[in-house]
Chains A and B, each alone.
Chain A
Amino acid sequence: MMHEKTILLVEDNRADEVLTLRALKKANVANQVIVARDGVEALERLFSPADGRIAERLPELILLDLKLPKIDGHEVLRRIRADERTRLLPVVILTTSVEEQDRFDGYRLGANSYVRKPVDFAEFAEAVTQLGLYWLVLNEQPPAGGKG
């Protein structure tokens, strides 16, 4: 049942992508992880670029970096929250920045969490483990039909 749930990882840095996937694997998160390498790609995973129709399968969790090519993380988040169909998707900002303004903007735009990527990989792996555990296991998703 858990296998049906997918994670959308929005990350432009290959090293960070590999490390995040490694950390998820070590945390025994077996969900499929889809990687988008810039803001445009991330949005295309959610909305069809041709007609704006929503993707057939939405991810269960989005791990979103802020500094991205083309469209940045804040803008991706804004568009996700602006669309009725993706408004309630859990989005966790996973970034290097701890600047107040970035945190403020992240929460203001409706991020569910804001996590800084630590340099120490042991700490990073621990953070990813907890994220996976919390959002994919502990946390109850909003009902599918709930249009608020």
Chain B
Amino acid sequence: MSGAVLIVDDSLTVRMSLLELLNAAGLQSEACSTIAEARQALATSNYALVVLDVLLPDGDGVELLQEIRAMPAAEGTAVMMLSTETEVRDRVRGLTTGADEYVGKPYDPTYLVGRARELVRRSNDNAAQGEDTILLIDDSVTFREELKQTLQQAGYRVVIAVSGEEGLRLAANSRPSGVVVDGVLPGMDGATFIRRIRLDAALRGLPCFLLTGSEDRSAQLVALDAGADAFATKEENAGVILARISAMLRSAGEQSAVRATTSLLGPKKVLAVDDSETYLQQLAEALRAEGYDLILARSGEEALELLSVQQVDCVLLDLLMPGIGGRETCRRVKAVPAMRDIPVIMLTAVEDRDAMIQGLGAGADDYIAKSSDFDLVRARVLAQIRRKQFEDEHRTVREQLLRAEYEANKARTALETAEARATLAEELKLKNEELESFSYSVAHDLRAPLRAIDGFSLALLEDCEDKLSEDEKQNLHYVREAAQHMARLIDDLLALSRVTRGEFDRTETNITALAKDVIRRLKLSAPEREVAFVVANGLVASCDDRLLTIVFENLLGNAWKFTGKQEAACIEVGVTGDDPEVFFVRDNGVGFDMAYASKLFGMFQRLHSKIEFDGTGIGLVTVQRIIRRHGGRIWAEAAVGAGATFFFTLEGSRSRDVTLAADAPVVGQTRKDAAA
């Protein structure tokens, strides 16, 4: 989008005058006199602004406006309607059709040029929107590329310079939305760069972000002194830097928007409402001469209709009018949040104390007698506009302060959260390490004394065989049995803890083959036993095969153990055909009383005496932990003397697996520390 303006007006005088005014103001303009010519021009070129007369020889300007609004190519084009029609109705029609501005003829040249300039700037800004370009100046390749990537991922276009001098050239040429500059550069440093930008009339508004090398307070002072809008140390992570840059650009964008619309020196619109045409014309003439654009309305109703589509800077309101009248109009204006800040000056024919009180009571900001000369009206209008201006500015400043505070709070909270998480993660790591070295000590240190107890008991049995009675020998055997049982308990507890903290790796596993392998090893342990095994073919599951091996070792081991006294022992592995898949291990052994089923998976819980069947009471706890790690569940059905069946599923959420697996890398490291 260029700065070009198209003027469409059938009056040669208006065309010539506008061309001269706009070209003199640096807005490259061309003109035509009919809708047909305008259509042709619009089809071939892009305009930032169209100044459009309403009454044209070959049609209605508002209809052309409608066409423009429907053209995709003219999306960013602003339209200023220019009309001799002073009826509020026409104004409302133009503005609701999509005109950005509606100026009455005769127009004030200063006002018109001022507005045209604003509209052109706005459409150019619109055109540039969505592709914020950031100029990044840094001589360190690593840091530069990392930040560049972060910025690009956030949707910014990034232009790179490696020195302050190159940066200045690029800033002037590519007009970026913001600059990020390293404080330390060969030649011109970052602070000097920003100072140079601030000295350049065209670039001084450019938001600048300075990267400092350290937390050094003096570096930050230098940055602020040079005029940086924001800064961060390079040690900060890229995400934090990105957030600060975005905040800087956001607030810069808002500031310039405020400047563009509410400059105290910019053109102002005044709405005058009076049922007396004569007074309106006089007022209009007096105020136009001051550079105000006057909108005239003949009733309170008209005024309200217009205010719903047109922002104005001040309302002059006659108190006594037919229809809803001045007081009610004022009350309604002040009742709408979007309008209540517009200053309303009440006008009345006489110096009437009661009327004045009534008017002010309805919310008017000031009160003028119509008898007053126009100088006084002008001064009052200006005073009100200025007051509103100050209020707006204060509000803007307040909002900016609040926003800055909000951003700071947000950043602080994010930082605190991150710190808290890091602390927790660190604590968890330490806890894991502690647990790890504890387990290692248990494995190593508890076994050594047991070996001594067993070894020396046996030494006594061997060396003093002649001196010991049978009872004494039996007692020594009990000592050895106890030591060996405790060794098994330690081994099983270690296996259990490994199941919970070890790695977790789900893969597609052939369960049939896995179960058969466990069975093969069971058979090797007692080749004399006759047990019939039935394993269903084609069993598969997504699981950790190492852990599932432990499951089958325990379940099949139990089945093997509890069928030990069975004549025709039979052990079966299969699935029930339910969804999710339910696996089972069934035996025809001694079984158990279902009344005790709740105790099955309790630590050290045993349902059979040690003399009948040996065991530690840890096996099923281990199995249950493994099943839970898979997100599945396990349960059993049994009857005394009629065997037992254990069912389990392996379905479940995978997120749990991920968290548990994440603990794994800690393992290897600590074991070495514990050994040292």
Contacts and interface: CB of A to CB of B under 8 A. Distances in A.
B676 A72 contact: yes
B448 interface: yes
B549 to A, nearest CB: 15
Contacts of A122: 458
Interface stretch (A27-35, A56-64, A95-103): A95-103
A67 interface: yes
Nearest to B461: A121
A119 B454 contact: yes
Interface stretch (B357-365, B409-417, B439-447): B439-447
A66 interface: yes
A120 B456 CA distance: 11
B378 interface: no
A96 B455 contact: no
Interface stretch (B186-194, B224-232, B667-675): B667-675
A119 B444 CA distance: 11
A102 B671 contact: yes
B483 interface: yes
A121 B462 CA distance: 12
Contacts of A72: 675-676
**Chain A: number of interface residues, binned into ranges:** 20 to 34
Nearest to B485: A119
B450 interface: yes
Interface string B546-573: 0000000000000000000000000000
B484 A120 contact: yes
Interface in A45-83: 66-67, 72-74
A19 B455 CA distance: 7
A97 B443 contact: yes
A126 interface: no
A15 B263 CA distance: 94
B243 interface: no
Given A97-B443, A101-B671, A119-B454, A15 B459 contact: no
Interface in A81-131: 96-99, 101-102, 105, 117-122, 124
Contact of B452 (A15, A73, A97, A98): A15
B451 A124 contact: yes
A66 B675 contact: yes
B451 A16 contact: yes
B672 A101 contact: yes
A141 interface: no
B32 interface: no
A117 B487 CA distance: 12
A73 B457 CA distance: 29
Contacts of B456: 15, 19
Nearest to B675: A72
The prevalent SS among residues of B at the interface is: helix
Interface in B478-499: 480, 483-484, 487
Interface residues of B, number: 25
A146 B459 CA distance: 43
Most buried by A among B444, B450, B459: B444
Contact of A120 (B440, B444, B448, B454): B454
Nearest to B452: A15
Given A119-B450, A119-B451, A105 B672 contact: yes
B455 to A, nearest CB: 4
B500 to A, nearest CB: 15
A2 to B, nearest CB: 25
Nearest to A105: B672
A91 to B, nearest CB: 16
Nearest to B441: A67
Interface in A1-55: 13, 15-16, 19, 22
Given A67-B675, A119-B483, A97 B444 contact: yes
Given A16-B448, A67-B444, A121 B675 contact: no
Nearest to B671: A101
A96 B447 contact: yes
Contacts of A97: 440, 443-444, 675
Interface of A: 13, 15-16, 19, 22, 66-67, 72-74, 96-99, 101-102, 105, 117-122, 124
Given A119-B451, A121-B457, A124-B451, 10 more contacts: A15-B448, A16-B448, A19-B456, A22-B459, A67-B675, A96-B444, A120-B484, A120-B487, A121-B454, A122-B458
25 contacts: A15-B456, A19-B451, A19-B455, A19-B459, A22-B455, A22-B459, A67-B444, A74-B672, A96-B444, A96-B447, A97-B444, A99-B671, A101-B667, A102-B671, A117-B451, A119-B450, A119-B451, A119-B483, A119-B484, A120-B454, A120-B484, A120-B487, A121-B451, A121-B454, A124-B451
